[in-house]
Chains A and B, each alone.
Chain A
Amino acid sequence: EAQVTQNPRYLITVTGKKLTVTCSQNMNHEYMSWYRQDPGLGLRQIYYSMNVEVTDKGDVPEGYKVSRKEKRNFPLILESPSPNQTSLYFCASSSSRGLNEQYFGPGTRLTVT
């Protein structure tokens, strides 16, 4: 089954404690992105990746890092989480630029206290 998986699905942590949210897709997609969803703001892109070892900032990259060492994986790293990073996070992938729809993971709900 074609899918994007994320782990963990729920996470409560404290300010400053480094964490990683994993994302994996089994569709051999080149493009992968991270979005955060906040009430009244829709989804906003954090980082994206065109392919292995090629990543770049989206609209709201501050406080986040990513890596793309393998085509299927695109982890999101919060080196020092802060309460304003409390949000719902989605990983997405697609096979080409623009024309094909993006496939979304189930989401990770992060709470930073």
Chain B
Amino acid sequence: AQSVAQPEDQVNVAEGNPLTVKCTYSVSGNPYLFWYVQYPNRGLQFLLKYITGDNLVKGSYGFEAEFNKSQTSFHLKKPSALVSDSALYFCAVRDPYGGATNKLIFGTGTLLAVQP
């Protein structure tokens, strides 16, 4: 079955330090991978996606993610964390066998807390 795992419920990092939010996936075929961020009382906002091509993908707000096919991972990274980055982050994969559903399979989310 297709699945996405975010092994950390929460990641704590000091402002100015690099951050990594981990994501691994299990799908058959080539995955379409996404990262979304959710701020309190807001909907999900798209950060970046990997469809094909360069394994390092750059997105909004200085975030980037690295696709690693051999490790089936798509970790989200940022060189220098900001307090305003504190939010809930979701990794998602588009179900390659979803057909017309356009369904995203989401991880359970990782709460990023950046301390000043």
Query: A: which residues have CB within 8 A of B?
Result: 4, 31, 33, 40-45, 48, 50, 56, 58-59, 90, 92, 94, 97-99, 101-107
A-B contact count, CB below 8 Å? 63
Q: Shortest CB–CB separation between residue B14 and chain A, in angstroms?
A: 27
User: Does residue B22 face the partner (Cβ distance < 8 Å to A)?
Assistant: no
Contacts of A104 in B (CB 8 A): 36, 43-45
| Contact indicator per residue, chain B 69-110, by CB within 8 Å of chain A (1) or not (0) | 000000000000000000000101010001011111011110
Determine whether the beta carbon of B43 is less than 8 Å from that of A43. no
Contacts of B98 in A (CB 8 A): 98
**B43, B49, B90, B102: which contacts A33 (Cβ < 8 A)?**
B102
Determine whether the beta carbon of B101 is less than 8 Å from that of A106. no
**Residue of B whose beta carbon sits closest to that of A106:** B43
> How far is B98's CA from A50's CA once the two chains are assembled, in angstroms?
12
> How far is B49's CA from A103's CA once the two chains are assembled, in angstroms?
13
Q: Shortest CB–CB separation between residue A69 and chain B, in angstroms?
A: 19
Determine whether the beta carbon of B101 is less than 8 Å from that of A42. no
**Residue of B whose beta carbon sits closest to that of A57:** B101
> How far is B90's CA from A101's CA once the two chains are assembled, in angstroms?
13
Contacts of A31 in B (CB 8 A): 102
User: Does residue B56 face the partner (Cβ distance < 8 Å to A)?
Assistant: no
> How far is B106's CA from A44's CA once the two chains are assembled, in angstroms?
7
Given contacts A48-B101, A98-B94, contact A90 B44 (CB under 8 A): yes
